[in-house]
Amino acid sequence: MKTIIYFLPFLLFVIYSCADNASDNESVDTFPANTSQENILKMSDFIESVQYIPLETNDSCLIGEISDIFPLQDEMVFVDRKYALSIYFYDYNGLFKRKISKRGVGPEEYIKISSVAISEKESHIYLYDAYLNKVLVYNFQGQYVDGHKIPFKFSSMAYLGNGLLACYADYFRHNNQLLTKRQTPLLVIYDLKNDKIQDCAFYENSSISMTETIGFDSHFSQLEHGCLFFYYLDNQIYRLNEEGNISTVLNINFGENNEKRTDTYKKYLMENEVPAVEVDRNKPDICTINNAVGNETFTLCYYNNFKTVGQGVCFYNHTDKRFYSGWAEHKVPLVNDIDGGCPVIARVVKGSNIYSVLQPIEIDMYKDKCEPLEELGVEEENNPVIMISEVKKY
């Protein structure tokens, strides 16, 4: 059982998992997160401008929920994994171009969409169907290219390049072939060219089950070359390059007390059979990273404390080593002081742009304070609006 908690209007995913740190590199930049004092961050501190792109809505492109965004050079790709089970292509004016919808039981079809990765260079879409435990490859026109039966279970993936997939293996106890002395890897690098496991990393005690954690199935943020990777109860953000090598990008320091409480919680999970409903009821008093996006220039990270309903956001510029951060309990730690609209809820980064998704209900909440949103004329039955926030250049 997986649980997702939504705090409207600021969408943050509450996610829990368990793993040991894989890097003790003292040279890694560390952000000292202050979670004891409220601080509301202004978007104008790191955002230059905001624009909105309403997505065309017609009978051919009804999107129930945007699960993934992939901004390409000339198009945007959206995945609806929950309702339509389809992949949509739009131009940057918001006009619908085409979609991939291959649901079925044939050898070139999928039953469900569990995760999607894209290679713009190769014009390939990698679709993982956990029911079939298979990765299907399509080109951007929707034509079937290849299929790969995967010898282990995972929940999300990113394409690194050179035929390599980074797979978050979660806490699947039935991945017995991956066990090493009662330790199971959370990250698996899989080589599609040779259909074999290239490497494993971030091992965790196999007595912890995925049903004992609270999670959201997003652990990667695509980069131009490789991806960012993060996982829960670990306070570091990592970069995977095209060869699958791992380095640490940023360490979030929540303090010594939080580290002790996290260790206690992990020990509790290892020693007890804890159903997800109990974890949901007895929320641990710990801070953990729940989302991170970025590129070689900056990293935008979100974190939270499930028990106190505290939410934090940190923007770090890798060039001038400057941090901007916000923290608040029971309310949004970030305010849009640029146009009065919704604060940036990062889903993906391309270049200097951060992409967010605004549902019609969110637009309705902010349109009285934000003229650009009111001018869109978005109705409840319309597709979402894409918000593009341009990061300041330093």
Q: Give kind and range of the element (H or E) at residue 11.
A: none
- C-alpha torsion angle, residues 145, 103, 176, 248 (rounded to 10): 70
Token readout for 336 is 């849009």
Token readout for 21 is 């740190």
- Using CA atoms, how far residue 337 sits from 299, 369, 392, in Å, is 21, 11, 15
- Residue 56 DSSP symbol: P
pLDDT digits (tens, 9 = 90+) for 247-266: 999 999 999 999 999 999 88
Q: Give kind and range of the element (H or E) at residue 267.
A: helix 256-271
- The answer to whether 328 and 40 have CB atoms below 8 angstroms apart is yes
- The answer to whether 116 and 130 have CB atoms below 8 angstroms apart is no
Q: What is the pLDDT of residue 81?
A: 95
pLDDT of 277 over the 90 cut: no
Q: SS3 of 189, please?
A: strand
- The answer to whether 310 and 12 have CB atoms below 8 angstroms apart is no
From first CA to last CA, the distance across the chain in angstroms is 44
- The answer to whether 235 and 252 have CB atoms below 8 angstroms apart is yes
Q: Give kind and range of the element (H or E) at residue 292.
A: strand 287-294
pLDDT of 68 over the 70 cut: yes
pLDDT of 83 over the 80 cut: yes
Phi, then psi, of 236 in degrees rounded to 5: -120, 150
123/370 Cα distance (integer angstroms) = 37
pLDDT digits (tens, 9 = 90+) for 116-147: 999 999 999 999 999 999 999 999 999 999 99
